[in-house]
Amino acid sequence: MKKAWLAPTLVATVLSLVTTIALRPSVAQPEQKNIQAKAAGVIGSGSFATITPGETTTGTAEAYQEGNRTFIKFSSDFSTAHGPDLKVLLHKQYPPKSYDKGSYVLLDKLKSFDGTQVYELPKGISLAEYPNLILWCQSFNVTFAGAKLGR
């Protein structure tokens, strides 16, 4: 359930924070460098598409490298249907035909049904081998959605 008062309050808070940072160049400059470094480290991105009707999912995801670590970040406009036991994983197939051992890599359980969230890839896992981001309800073996992370 979305609260109507939340958006204006959030906007006011963000604007206040941005104004404060903009007035202090010593803080804004390192932050700008960090944003540019993240943009330069993007190695793939894609839009979520609903796979199972009724499990509506929207938003985008991007994969980026930070040092020797790889992360997947969901956009702030990410949203998916509520369901039990939702997992975030990378899969070899799109859409997945099975969840056999070796066909996917589990990243974590879904942290939230909407909004920005970040997942770290395990060491040694390559997007070249597992290029598809999948939301899967393990309890009922239902694939909610996916995003192809190719560039």
Cis-peptide, bond into residue 53, ω within 30° of zero: no
Does position 42 have pLDDT exceeding 80, yes or no?
yes
Q: Which residues contact 88 (CB under 8 A, 6 or more apart)?
A: 72, 106, 107, 108, 109, 110, 119, 133, 134, 135
Does position 49 have pLDDT exceeding 70, yes or no?
yes
Check residue 76 and report its DSSP letter: T
Query: Looking at residues 64-91, what average pLDDT do you find?
Result: 97
Task: Go through 14-26 and write b for each residue having 16 or more CB atoms within 10 A of its CB, e for each that does not.
Answer: eeeeeeeeeeeee
Query: What distance in Å separates the CA atoms of residue 122 and residue 67, rounded to the nearest whole number?
Result: 14
Cα first-last separation, the chain: 34
Does position 60 have pLDDT exceeding 80, yes or no?
yes
* Predicted local distance difference test score (pLDDT) of residue 150: 78
Alpha helix positions (H), 1-151: 6-22, 25-40
**Is residue 106 a contact partner of residue 120, using CB atoms and an 8 Å limit?**
no
Does position 7 have pLDDT exceeding 90, yes or no?
no
The answer to which of 23-32, 48-57, 128-137 has the lowest mean pLDDT is 23-32
What is the number of residues in the chain? 151
How large is the C-alpha radius of gyration of the chain? Answer: 17
pTM: 0.73
The answer to which of 31-35, 69-73, 95-99, 145-149 has the lowest mean pLDDT is 31-35
Does position 116 have pLDDT exceeding 70, yes or no?
yes
Q: What's the farthest any 2 CA atoms get from each other in the chain?
A: 54
